[in-house]
Amino acid sequence: MTITIIGHGYVGLVTACVFANFGNQVGVIGRTPEKIKKLNGGDPLIYEPGLEELLQKNLEARRLKFTLDYDPTIKNSQVVFIAVGTPSGDNGEANLSQVFSVAEKIAENLKDDYTVVSCKSTVPVGTNRKIKEIISRKINSSVKFDVVSTPEFLREGTGISDTTHPDRILIGSESKKATKIMLDLHREISGERVVTNLASAELIKYASNSMLATKISFANLISFYCEKSGANAEQVLSAVGLDNRIGSKFLNPGIGYGGACFPKDVKALIHTGHELQVNTGLLDEVENINKLARNSFAEKIIKNSKGKKLGIWGLSFKPNTDDVREAPSIFIIKKLLENNFEITAYDPEAMKHIQKQFGNKIKFVDDPYKVSEGTDNLAIFTEWNEFKQIDLKRVKKLMRGKVIFDGRNIYDLDKMKELGFEYHSVGRKTISV
């Protein structure tokens, strides 16, 4: 097929590369000339394992092209995907201005035939009907189209495999013709097919992310109990997760969730609940516990540090991505700077983004061992594999102090005791020296 994707962020770019790799002709529309030039030159602009290679492969095969032009890109396409951002407003409401602006441009460029307009952006219930209304107002009778909702469920860091081997392909549609085309487009992709109406597809996306956020906040709530009672959060939650009705995924204590999806989607579902006059108390607490997890860890560092010189490992909201949107590290660092900490930080991919926010308030180095040199305390915010496998004996020799604050529980308690560290983790006993 020939398809168009509007937007080249995580969702749009990964989707474009995967569909091109299946042999489709894919045009990707952006709005910044500099970014379009870099993408056509093989630079993905974001860090995602395997993405640069997949991008360059399909550019060389001439199955993938990036452009600023809606015409003729859309006229040549059977399917047009909307994959632009829907950031949170101050009140939590999803900002749909980009979605609606794109819908108008699609209407102006549809061919005099049939096109499926597929919204992949995460949008509140009722948005796809508004997209259909916007397009319908601007076209003549010879133009035929249907709007479908196809939310994505990819995770940053595993975006390609999540796109090619998802748990499910979700298609919200009220047209048999559009449904058939979308099922055909996804024929090379595994996963259970779920076909619903538009409203259900929209809500499934928000419900899924909010459920995962709820599990994370529940795990952190239990970690609060554990720290007060002497219980071990990892043992408690591991046993809870063995119940097949619950499952172990996302049931890990830490410093809270972040990224482009969970914070935004929980807020948006709360806002939709208010509009529908639904009690959102559960989701309110999910969000509140997430804030408590970050604040609790910051206070732990402030209270137990031996000196004000602090090294930080990990800045991205999760490993295998350079994304720092709503990353717990940002909130914790702000609080530490307010308390006059001198910070040196390292992250394999995300330092350039944090540097934009903090500038020379933080010292950045290109190696985790350099972070350790002469520092009083060390804090871990992201569970990158290189931190799990690092030589802790060497780290101890480089540090001036011997205090480690582990926000992701990546080290064994007995090992840290044997090495002689004062070790503070989440929901587990403190190892004192």
Give the three-state DSSP class for 277: coil
One-letter-per-residue 3-state SS of 106-156: HHHHCCCCEEEEEECCCCCCCHHHHHHHHHHHHCCCCCEEEEEECCCCCCC
Residues β-bridged to residue 25: 2
Structure tokens belonging to residue 3:
């398809």
Mean pLDDT, residues 398-410: 97
Q: What's the whole-number average pLDDT of the chain?
A: 97
Mean pLDDT, residues 203-214: 97
Question: CA 80 to CA 110: how far, in whole Å?
Answer: 10
pLDDT the model gives residue 15: 98
Chain segment 53-95, per-residue pLDDT in tens: 999 999 999 999 999 999 999 999 999 999 999 999 989 999 9
- CB atoms closer than 10 angstroms to residue 232: 17
Question: CA 430 to CA 418: how far, in whole Å?
Answer: 13
Chain segment 94-126, per-residue pLDDT in tens: 999 999 999 999 999 998 899 999 999 999 999
pLDDT at 203 over 90: yes
Mean pLDDT, residues 253-264: 95
Mean pLDDT, residues 240-268: 95
**Which residues are designated catalytic?**
261
Pairing of strands 25-29, 377-380: unpaired
Closest CA to 117 of 98, 134, 141: 134
pLDDT at 286 over 90: yes
Alpha-carbon distances, residue 352 vs 316, 346, 384 (angstroms): 11, 10, 17
pLDDT at 141 over 90: no
Mean pLDDT, residues 240-257: 96
Mean pLDDT, residues 307-320: 97
pLDDT the model gives residue 433: 79
Question: CA 117 to CA 243: how far, in whole Å?
Answer: 41
Chain segment 11-51, per-residue pLDDT in tens: 999 999 999 999 999 999 999 999 999 999 999 999 999 99
Chain segment 157-178, per-residue pLDDT in tens: 999 999 999 999 999 999 999 9
Mean pLDDT, residues 189-195: 97
Chain segment 350-368, per-residue pLDDT in tens: 999 999 999 999 999 999 9
pLDDT the model gives residue 363: 97
